[in-house]
Structure 1
Amino acid sequence: MEVPGKKLQAGPNAEDTTYCQPCELDDEFLPAEVYCTVCKEFFCSNCARVHRKQKMTRSHFLLDQSNKPTSLGDHETEYECTVSCDVHPKETIKYFCRTHQTLICGHCSVKYHRSCHADVISEISKDFKDDQEYGDVIKTIASLFKEINLRVSGVEKRVDVVARLCENEVDKLRKYRKKVIKYFEEREQALLKFIEKTKNLDEKLLGSLKPKLKNLNSKVEEINVTLEAQGNNMIQLFIETKRAKKLLEGLQNDLADINKGDVIHHYEFRKDPATERLISSGNGLGTLENIMTEAHEIVSAVSDHGPIGLTVQGCG
């Protein structure tokens, strides 16, 4: 068995021969029927039969007449495979099963691929770099590198888009919030102004009634004093009473007029139904809806047209 990774060099008497090499050691020259890809030796039919029976060599893969090399010279520059088999980790991959299109070791070839068409990798891989399959793989790798780099660039752009979308929508939300707050502040000031104006009107009205009532009270008091001053003078009392009666009628009319004007404004703050519905809806200021847009379309929209509106359903 050669040392893995080293070139396999043929012996000094390597010639274009297909004789059984073990038999040659006994000076017997029998035609080679098979070639062992592990031992790198040609065997006659008898030696091949013994090779298949021995415990140490029964898993070796033997190439028949149609697949075996024509001479030892065909293997002067081969390399030993050092990749472990997936099924048998202690064995190295040596063959390629064309039937199942899979890489196999010697154990696999005996146990699972005995009837398959298998190639020795060291044989079929010599000019593999010039093969279309290898070229296609290299092209695929280059294509994947290109696509991955484009994706990386796209992700970086979308990171910027995400940040800009967030900034734009937060800015729109806060501007609208300020507009709403300004509106309610203006409404509050308008209502407060109305309340203050009405309060001033009522206070002015009530303030004007006080002197009128005081004047009426003084006149009634004067009449009362005049009547009490007459004592037992019935004639004078009669006359003053008649006079007082007319005066009192006028004073009663004046009081009635005062009573008519004694009306203050009754007002009450009532909540706006629309505002109440807005508050109870939980959707004050607005909502966020999810716009199903492809990432590249968002990038294009932001790049070509500046900020775009983005709303996400369910965020209130």
Structure 2
Amino acid sequence: MEVPGKREINNFSCKPCEESDMLTQADGFCTNCEEYMCSSCFNTHKKYKLNRDHTLMDCNEEITRREDSSNFEKCEQHFSESVKFYCAQHKQVGCGDCMVIGHRSCKVDYILDKANDLKGTTELESLAKGPEICTTEAKRLLSSIKINKVQVDDINDKFKQEVNLFWEEITTQINNLRDRMLKEGECIKDRDSLSMEKLEGETESLINDLNVISDLFKSKVQSPSQLFVCSVSQKPKLDRLMKQLNDIKSRNKIETYEFIEDSNITRTLASLGQLERLQEVEDVFEPLKTFEDTARSAVSTPLLERQLICRHMKVDGEYLTYADNGNGDVGLYVDKCPIENDRYFEIEILSLGRSGTIALGLVPNGYPGNMQPGWGKNSIGYHADDGRLYNESGRGTVFGPKCLVGDKIGCWINGCRVQW
């Protein structure tokens, strides 16, 4: 264990010489007798059999050892020792016994030296301001949670209003389904409200814990040694609180949703299976991952307004996502806009699922929703699982490679020709 060099201190007088009315500078300190002695007196002192094992310590080492104990914390493992050393390699503080036992091969610093070196530096200031910064971030998070709590009710109110306005235009035959939809919205509201209540409580508790650490740091700001030891000893707890803060931030989400009319219902009530449903909208604070921007022209009308059919998919601006819900339900989106020149759209494969049956293509109005594009009349589609292009036939032609995770499939309509 490498220990930092000694510091210069004042000289001391030889105690035995003082008793003989002589003033002699002490050369060291007998650790057994706890007296300062000159070399001559110590040599005479060791001639006695009982004193042969006594050790003369350098005066500088002794004064360092006798530093005011009020500047140090007591060691939790060695109760009679004070925490005086710091191991930079392991970022731990401890007493002399701790350093000998656990840090024999490390370079350790004397805490007073380390504290004096750090005094007035930005490093020590940043250590002291750590809880304050974390507290500020936690308060911002709490503010966001409170806003979300308000939005939970606002979103639900808007949702219920749209549902009721729409239901005034249709017959009483679908009232039971309306109640089911409202209940679904209420469930989401209750779930989000409960979640925000829980997050609010966790955040308030987190702020209280941070305030305790902050007050502890402030109480020791006049003693760099204590502040340094406190900052090191509290760092694991502060790191844990920071991890807890980030965990709360990651869970600070509410489920936004709105009512989406199915235009088919306004024309017929024959198929109740296609009745309007609650449409989930991705969290406004963490939008869906976007694909690479394309230089090709895009339709200005949002996908949410253009959808003819949308099943088991989420809509976010100009992007769609599909995730298997475990029930094997097929994700389907059909754009009701007519085909125009210079139109482009693409998909990115994030997961192949069980069979990788992913298809992209063009279909006519009224095309069956359970049929892959390219199989039926007046349709064309590229299928990712076999790399074949299907053109109004159930037998595709080899067109490209099978698609894997990370691949993108694009379709561009150029001069009434379809390019893949």
User: What's the TM-score, normalizing by structure 1?
Assistant: 0.41
Relative to total residues, which structure has the larger helix share, 1 or 2?
A: 1
Task: Select the structure that is richer in strand.
Answer: 2
The TM-score with structure 2 as length reference comes to 0.32
Looking at both structures, which has the greater relative contact order when contacts are Cα pairs under 8 Å and sequence separation is at least 6? 1
